[in-house]
Structure 1
Amino acid sequence: MNKIIDIQELGLKEYKEAWEYQESLFQGIVDTKIKNRREDTDLETPNYFLFVEHPHVYTLGKSGDMSNLLVDEKQLAEKGASFYKVNRGGDITYHGPGQIVGYPILDLDNFFTDIHKYLRLLEEMIILTLAEYGLKAERSPGETGVWLDVGTPFARKICAMGVRASRWVTMHGFALNVNADLGYFDNMIPCGIRGKAVTSLNVELGVKKVPMDEVKSKLLKHFAYLFEAELQPQEEKV
């Protein structure tokens, strides 16, 4: 089982371009698994973890409700935002500058074949990272993602999640608000859940900006621990 994770930093990239790149990595792993089964070979499957920021974009999951987007095409253009229907789980979400988007593209046969466990470990990675900033983040029953002040009138979401898996290969992932412009969330009903607010790490800490690289480093540390994985940072590749 290959537990090496190829870490890739994509920078600021249009959603569609990043989605197509994800699909190519995902399909490469699936094709290898099919070849192994058909030809009785034992080729190693790779694992990837992509970090990216997107220009303003709204995405709707395959089970999502279009009415949760509260602006029309003209208003989207005025806000400099795009919109895509995508092949992940979950409802509607927003991505934009100041948000850390992570796409783990893993062959879970290298780790464990349990999607529920996979999502819970991704949430735990976020929870442990936020704890390093003195925040008590937690899960909200029946609602994937990471929240603050669950069970109170002040409950607010800081990290959204939505994944796709086929043949135990994952894609899509999480979006953690670090220095996000929260005004863009007013144009939708986040994840289709009415009456709950969203927040960002810089808002919770009362600072103008939190270093993104610092947060990414903490995320990877906890990811490696939880998945018992070996990270291969981009600069170390031959």
Structure 2
Amino acid sequence: MRVSQPLSLARTLPRRLLAPAGTPTGAACPGTSSKTVPQKPNPLPPVRYHIFRSPLPYPQGLELQHRVIEGRLQRRERGESSAQDVMFLLEHTPTYTTGRRDNSPNPDTLHPEEEKVQDVGAGFYITKRGGQVTYHGPGQIVGYPILDLTAMGTPTRCYVEYLQSLLREYAEDLGLEVVAPHEDGHVGVFRGRDEKLASIGIHLRHRITSHGFAMNVTPEPVPWFDLVTACGLADVRAVSISQLLERQGKTGPSVAECAAALVPRFASTFGREFVPLDAPAEGKTAGEIEAIRDIVADITAQAENAEKEAGGWPTRPRVKAQ
């Protein structure tokens, strides 16, 4: 099943435009994920975060981001305070997606990668994020930070580097030898040349980020990845944290443990406080926080209904691609 999403979340930035005006391509970004990103003089409000406990269908993940960003922009237009950044951490139900920079989709024919995964038990969505075909599903942590890069004083290219660095350092702290980016320049976190652990693909709308990253935690996503040429890298295969640690005789974290561990890394990287979405809210952003809570509650209910209607989600591909 292919669905082309009409949501106007953002325009995708070609790689050559990731550096801000006046910044030489390849120039070093200030700070790393082990050194707090330089801050503006006026401190920003804490980032609110929410960890979903059950997998979201991909359309609900898009709607979640769209409604939060749209509400924020509408408040701006009304002259109301709108400074509430938020981050969502979650798993998706089995889903293949491709981004706008993938020029192969044709409205009259199946995407070449979609032909490989007919009837395997996963949806296929053409989206507006950056990047090519990838997979999302249970066993993979997905992060959707919705951050105002202008307010943070962070160039887009540097934001991508910070995401990449904090994911790399999380893997390294687990005892894994990884590289980020790939030695050929591909964005993401890799184990050597031919195994990929994490992907990054972002959007911007009025300098507000959406989409973000995905990291394979358990082995569950790998058989789904094996059915496609993920990210257009024919010689690179997906791998999970658990599989890499198993080679060392160690046990890997759960997705929930990974999500909990990433929150303080984001706080350290961006030099900001991260507070649960359901924590008490006061001050200028209280109304906006309450509105985001209502959106999350609605999206959660939609996901629960979708799971009931589907009778659950497959844990492995139903058939092998021919």
- TM norm structure 2: 0.66
Code of the aligned partner of 1:160:
S
Q: Deviations over 1:204-227 (max 9, x none)?
A: 011675222221122111111111
Matches of 1:71 and 1:116, distance apart in 2: 30
Aligned length: 227
Matches of 2:232 and 2:111, distance apart in 1: 6
Q: 1:1-238, aligned counterparts within 5 Å?
A: 2-10=44-52, 11-36=54-79, 43-64=81-102, 65-66=104-105, 69-72=112-115, 75-77=117-119, 79-138=120-179, 139-140=181-182, 141-150=184-193, 155-179=194-218, 180-206=220-246, 210-237=253-280
Matches of 2:73 and 2:224, distance apart in 1: 35
Deviation (angstroms), 1:124? 1.0
Matches of 2:280 and 2:144, distance apart in 1: 19
Kept in 1: contact 2:114–2:124 (CA 8 A)? no
Identity of aligned residues (%): 27
Kept in 1: contact 2:97–2:133 (CA 8 A)? yes
Kept in 2: contact 1:53–1:97 (CA 8 A)? yes
Deviation (angstroms), 1:108? 1.3
Matches of 2:277 and 2:256, distance apart in 1: 14
- TM norm structure 1: 0.87
Stretch moving more, 134-143 or 111-120: 134-143
Deviation beyond 6 Å, 4+ runs, structure 1: none
Larger Cα-atom Rg? 2
Matches of 2:45 and 2:165, distance apart in 1: 19
Note the aligned Cα RMSD (angstroms).
2.1
CA 62–214 in structure 1, closer or farther in 2 if over 3 Å, else same: same
Query: Which structure 2 residue ranges, 5 or more long, are not aligned?
Result: 1-42, 282-322
Q: Deviations over 1:161-192 (max 9, x none)?
A: 11100211000010100013311112211111
Stretch moving more, 86-95 or 215-224: 215-224
Code of the aligned partner of 2:209:
T
Query: Which structure 1 residue ranges, 5 or more long, are not aligned?
Result: none
Stretch moving more, 133-142 or 62-71: 62-71
In terms of fraction of residues, the more helix-rich structure is 1
